[in-house]
Chain A
Amino acid sequence: MSTRLFGEPVRRREDPRLLTGQGRYLDDLGRDALAAAFVRSPHASARIRDVDVAPALDVEGLVAVYTWEDLPERIGRPLPLLIPHPALTHGRTAHPLARDVVRHVGEPVVMVVASDRYAAEDACALIEVDYEPLTPVVGLERAVRGDALVHDDVPGNVGAHLVQEVPGADGRGAAEAIEAAPHTLAFRLHIERSASTPLEGRGVHARWDGRDLRVHSSTQTSTSVRMAVAAALGLPLPNVEVIAPDVGGGFGVKIVHPWPEEILVPWAAMTLGREVKWTEDRREHFIASAHERGQIQDVRVGFDDDGRVLGLDVTILHDHGAYTPYGIIVPIVTSTQLLGPYKIGAYRVEFSSVYTNTLQVTPYRGAGRPQGVFCMERTMDKIARHLGKDRAEVRAANLIGPDEFPYDQGMTFQDGRPLVYDSGDYPRMLRMLKELIGWDDHVGRPGLGIGLGCYVEGTGVGPYEGGHVQVTSDGRVHVSTGLTSQGQGHETAFAQIAASELGVPIERVSVVTGDTRRFGYAVGTFASRAAVMSGNAIALACRKVREKALRIAADALEADPADLEIVEGEVRVVGAPGPAVPLSTVAVLANPLRYAFDEETAKATQFSGAAPPDRPPVAEGDEPGLEGRDYYSPVRSTFAAGMHAAVVETDPDTAEIRVLRYAVVHDCGRLINPMIVEGQIHGGVAQGIGGALYERMVYDEHGQLVNASFMDFLMPYATEIPRVETAHLETPSPLNPLGIKGAGEAGVIPVSAVIASAVEDAEGFPIDRMPLSPSELYHLRLRHAGQEPGGD
């Protein structure tokens, strides 16, 4: 196999179109489509008394107005609960349009279809909805009081409750181990809400031609949208195709499906016999898509004189908002990935996932890991502080050793499989990080702090992905996979894999993702899984193609297939630059023809003499064409890891926090394209900095999201983001043929923990709550100087 392209910083093939304005994002499609817009609830909790659409009926360009009562039974049903779990005893999902009650600001109540968006919005503004406001449940503390309910039939607002417990080596449970430990600490941590906030929001475009439905959606899973849409509309699956066009970022939010709009827009297109499009606006994205992160964690830990953890007990309150379409994946990930690269004596984790009258909570890049890592890393720092030890030393005392893999944490991970780490070298990673940031040489002072954070990330979760590879008679290689792309450079990385596996110039390879016309079986893009899952599936499919090409070429060259190789798109005898057969010819020979369409294909026709007259043209068990399809389905996840460190400066007067340096050591197994991996890390760290210092979803007591715009939700600009210094460690995964682990979420995971660690070091008092604004830091200073009462 040629490995020249695998591992090289190959320039992205996506870029020329994206740099010249030739990308095709959702709103770039369907120029003549009708536009949909929605009347959304202004209340967090209310009963709908009446909807009066009459005032809107005179709007010029109005085509249709729909409330829940106008929907056929199968369209009006609650949306699917995507990931059921036995512990999710009270899972609830929304109706596509609100039925009688609304449970968060932004919930869709009426759909309007008009000639263009301006007219649709005009009509929305004139529709009068009469609400009877109810008492909203906002905030975790309020939710668990249970005196007001989000869903009448969910007592105490608790949707799910789950306990996982792993005894220590001596068989003792966490409570007992903590009790018996030489040192114990107990504390509470808070993490606030943030959100994916891709710069392109959601969007759906649908076209119905009387028999077939074509849906474009800005989604992270086109195959699953297709199945959900076909089921909701009662259409045969072959008559529905779903395509993810260029997608302007996802970061998790676009894995949720089907959104109300993904059902309603196709239904409207069928009902009206017209193309219909809906493009989410920024306010809608804030109040009607999904958020993540919000948790309160109560921690008890017992440890020995060296800082080794003997017992850890964590109780998590997780705010999942008004509905649970994505189940309880986020708190499950938090409670399992909390363990990080450490051997924890005995561990008990319990979470309650509760309803509030706020936007639903579903995975955002990191998907619960940032909260888990915040918890564990704060714990490590507190242990070090308690013992007066170096923070890196305490971590080193707890790390899993490089000779202890596979390492079984004894828990059940988010894929329902055992939490078993496949490979890694955490002590070496810690040494690399200390060197990169200059840990041992750092001279701190008040206002200048250094911090670190470590994590392990389960990536490449199943169940499977597939790849299809076809070589056509022009020598081109067409690769397709079902999962989708939102900027990760899949067209490039997958082309590198195919070119390397097949021995063809990368210029001949094209890659299609997220188009159900090309590949119908897939799961989707999330959990840093695309490279691991589709990358390996494509490699396996290429190996099938390669084997077939060598077999066919062996006949032509009268050689043994084992003696052949493919170099620069030609099959030849290994090491011999003699006679060679180009793959284009092999593709011709692979497909016996009756009809030629050019000189080359004439070689495969029935009078050409190419095929022996005594054998069927397509041998038994064989198939025409030079193509292959294969799937990669891992027994369990593979575990990437990373360690980050930062140096921060805090302003003595304004309490502004500046990140002076940020260092990352990262291990995602074998790198396909280091340029793309570094880009993923840079972007992840930037989102992490946003989550640590700037971004939060501010709900008032009425359940109004008061900062639902880019003016008020502070996404960082270039002025807020430090330069990231990176170093890579490559411990290949033994679980997959390419030895790769995922990288997509890596950058974001430990950032809040790292910044808290560094600010704590600079300020000398504990940081137990993120994000941390200058104003909050200022008040913490006053409190710790004894000038302000209270606090937690």
Chain B
Amino acid sequence: MEHEITLVVNGAARRVRVPARRLLSDCLRHDLGLTGTHVGCEHGVCGCCTVLLDGEPVRSCLTFAVSVDGREITTVEGLAGPGGMSPVQRAFGECHALQCGFCTPGFLCTVTALLRDNPSPTEEEVVEGISGNLCRCTGYQNIVKAVHRAAELIAEEGR
């Protein structure tokens, strides 16, 4: 049996019919065509599928689409503003914080929420803040650097 739900994705209301068992990650990727959200493990450990649900990071591979009917979702496609990439996105590019890019959307969503809640995190808070996301390419060093750099950019730009 299918359910008609409405998800507010990156600011736009999207109506979609899904079976009860459709994962939010699959709904975003395959029903709505937003393939920027990636699936790395399907069991909530790697963090690749992290999206913001009403602003809070969640694992979209552990969330049923029907369970978030009416809620606001931000995916990597929604992080950039009208002026271009967000400070977090720019900082990741500047600091070479990505290689293959597969884990990157999950990190970007996680870090966006992290810096909103804690605009000037310590080194320890940064490492702790990203410790729910796996990256196999970078060794994390440049990701940590990018989080600090993003904090600087946000402060400079008064966002």
**A310 smallest CB distance to B (angstroms):** 39
* Chain A CB within 8 A of B60 CB: no
Measured CA separation A684–B143 after assembly (Å)? 15
* Chain A CB within 8 A of B159 CB: no
Residue of B at shortest CB range from A19?
B89
Contact indicator per residue, chain A 306-348, by CB within 8 Å of chain B (1) or not (0): 0000000000000000000000000000000000000000000
DSSP majority for the A interface?
loop
Measured CA separation A118–B65 after assembly (Å)? 15
Contact B100 A487 (CB under 8 A): yes
Contacts of A197 in B (CB 8 A): 136
* Chain B CB within 8 A of A11 CB: yes
Across the interface, B136 reaches (CB within 8 A) one of A24, A488, A715, namely A715
Most chain B CB neighbours (cut-off 10 Å) among A675, A679, A719, A723: A679
DSSP majority for the B interface?
loop
* Chain B CB within 8 A of A23 CB: yes
**B34 smallest CB distance to A (angstroms):** 7
* Chain B CB within 8 A of A709 CB: yes
Contact B101 A718 (CB under 8 A): no
User: A residues 2-32 with Cβ under 8 Å of B?
Assistant: 11-12, 14-16, 18-25, 27-28, 31
Across the interface, B105 reaches (CB within 8 A) one of A21, A488, A709, A721, namely A21
Across the interface, B43 reaches (CB within 8 A) one of A249, A251, A709, A717, namely A709
* Chain B CB within 8 A of A711 CB: yes
**B17 smallest CB distance to A (angstroms):** 14
Contact A21 B42 (CB under 8 A): no
Q: A199-B134, A710-B46 are in contact. Are A19 and B104 (CB under 8 A)?
A: yes
Contact indicator per residue, chain A 171-215, by CB within 8 Å of chain B (1) or not (0): 000000000000000000000000001111000000000000000
* Chain A CB within 8 A of B149 CB: no
Contact A27 B33 (CB under 8 A): no
**B75 smallest CB distance to A (angstroms):** 7
User: B residues 71-96 with Cβ under 8 Å of A?
Assistant: 75-77, 79-80, 85, 89, 92-94, 96
Contact B93 A718 (CB under 8 A): no
Across the interface, A15 reaches (CB within 8 A) one of B39, B75, B98, B137, namely B98
Contacts of B155 in A (CB 8 A): none
Contact A12 B133 (CB under 8 A): no
Contact A11 B94 (CB under 8 A): yes
Contact A676 B101 (CB under 8 A): no
Q: A200-B40, A710-B134, A717-B134 are in contact. Are A19 and B85 (CB under 8 A)?
A: yes
Most chain B CB neighbours (cut-off 10 Å) among A22, A687, A719: A719
Contact A488 B134 (CB under 8 A): no
Contacts of A251 in B (CB 8 A): 136
* Chain B CB within 8 A of A683 CB: yes
Across the interface, B93 reaches (CB within 8 A) one of A11, A118, A200, namely A11
* Chain B CB within 8 A of A774 CB: no
**B74 smallest CB distance to A (angstroms):** 11
Residue of B at shortest CB range from A250?
B100
Residue of A at shortest CB range from B88?
A19
Most chain B CB neighbours (cut-off 10 Å) among A282, A676, A684, A747: A282
Contact B93 A709 (CB under 8 A): no
Q: A19-B92, A19-B104, A197-B136 are in contact. Are A718 and B143 (CB under 8 A)?
A: yes
* Chain B CB within 8 A of A247 CB: yes
The count of A-to-B residue pairs whose CB atoms sit within 8 angstroms is 168
* Chain B CB within 8 A of A408 CB: no
Measured CA separation A281–B108 after assembly (Å)? 23
Contacts of B134 in A (CB 8 A): 199, 710, 715, 717
Residue of A at shortest CB range from B78?
A21
Measured CA separation A724–B139 after assembly (Å)? 9
Q: A11-B93, A199-B48, A249-B137 are in contact. Are A718 and B36 (CB under 8 A)?
A: no
Measured CA separation A717–B22 after assembly (Å)? 29
* Chain B CB within 8 A of A638 CB: no
Contacts of B101 in A (CB 8 A): 14-15, 18-19, 23, 246, 248, 487
**A484 smallest CB distance to B (angstroms):** 12
**A688 smallest CB distance to B (angstroms):** 9
Contacts of B19 in A (CB 8 A): 118
* Chain A CB within 8 A of B99 CB: yes
**B57 smallest CB distance to A (angstroms):** 15
Across the interface, B40 reaches (CB within 8 A) one of A282, A487, A747, namely A282
Known: A20-B85, A20-B89. 5 other contacts (CB 8 A): A19-B101, A197-B136, A717-B140, A721-B140, A723-B141
Chain B residues proximal to chain A, CB less than 8 Å: 19, 21-22, 29-30, 33-43, 45-46, 48, 75-77, 79-80, 85, 89, 92-94, 96, 98-105, 108, 127-128, 130-144
Which 10 residue pairs across A and B have the least CB separation, nearest first?
Answer: A21-B36, A487-B100, A248-B102, A18-B101, A686-B139, A682-B139, A487-B99, A28-B35, A710-B45, A21-B76
Chain A residues proximal to chain B, CB less than 8 Å: 11-12, 14-16, 18-25, 27-28, 31, 116, 118, 197-200, 246-249, 251, 281-282, 486-489, 675-676, 678-679, 682-687, 709-711, 715, 717-719, 721, 723-724, 747
Q: Would you list 23 pairs from A and B whose C-beta atoms are within 8 A, ordered by A residue?
A: A12-B96, A15-B101, A19-B104, A19-B108, A198-B136, A199-B46, A200-B102, A246-B100, A248-B100, A248-B102, A251-B136, A487-B100, A488-B99, A679-B138, A682-B138, A687-B136, A709-B43, A710-B43, A711-B45, A717-B130, A718-B144, A721-B139, A723-B141
